[in-house]
Amino acid sequence: MTTTFPGSPLPSKGQIIAIDTLTYVIVSTIAFQYNPESFSRKLQVQAIGGEGGSHSEALRLQGAPVETFQLEIEIDATDQLEKAERTAIDYGIYPQLAALETLIYPKSSQVKTNMDQAKQGIVEIVPYEAPLTLLVWGNKRKLPVRLTDFSINEEAYDVNLNPIRAKMSLGLRVLSYNDLPWDMRSSKLFFNHHKEKEEMAKKANVNNQGGTTAVNIT
């Protein structure tokens, strides 16, 4: 819902940023046209051992929980077409879809290099490397993520069958210091997120002091 109240803050836009892992140069920035109305999160505890394990290990953790997100986003070229924007007229929302889809494609230059080497009989092929992907969702969530699943429902087309409206479901897995080398900036980014979460939890304790009941744990 929009508002014309003077001085109203502009809503932050969720976005996905792709960064080159070698140079840390931003490859692309994909801002959500409309922020999703819901944002599903799941945290999987990384405990040591399983049921019936050693009593000494019962409270131990291997590291941060594995966190996954599921969100629905929508892209619509209607406003751009009404303003006669050239890109929308020529391609609809193909560019926006391509920006998201190429996050899970290897670079074509890498594919060509590997294929040429395979043709020459070089057995050791360098694995493809995707760009580092960051999910930015407000000031408190700037997280390295991996796109794990991606479904698209194209809902409308122009006369040239360019898609002009689509809804997408994105599955994202947060990459923590358990997944990334410690000296990578992305690992430090997650560690800062971890520390900020601890600081935020302290605020909850302060706010709830008036409504808590003392518990004797002795």
The one-letter code for the residue type at 28 is: S
Three-state DSSP at 110 gives helix
Three-state DSSP at 47 gives strand
Q: Name residues whose C-beta falls within 8 Å of residue 39's C-beta, 6 or more positions apart in sequence.
A: 69, 71, 137
The one-letter code for the residue type at 152 is: I
pLDDT of residue 118: 83
pLDDT of residue 140: 84
- 166 class by beta-carbon count within 10 Å (0-12 exposed, 13-18 middle, 19+ buried): buried
- List per-residue pLDDT tens for the chain, 218 residues long: 444 444 545 568 899 999 888 788 898 899 999 998 888 999 998 887 655 556 566 678 888 999 999 999 999 999 999 999 999 999 999 999 999 998 888 888 888 888 888 888 876 766 777 788 999 998 888 999 999 999 999 999 999 999 999 999 999 999 999 998 898 888 999 999 999 999 999 988 765 555 555 566 65
pLDDT of residue 3: 45
pTM of the predicted model, to two decimals? 0.78
Q: Name residues whose C-beta falls within 8 Å of residue 124's C-beta, 6 or more positions apart in sequence.
A: none
Given a contact cutoff of 8 angstroms between Cβ atoms, the answer to whether 75 and 144 are in contact is no
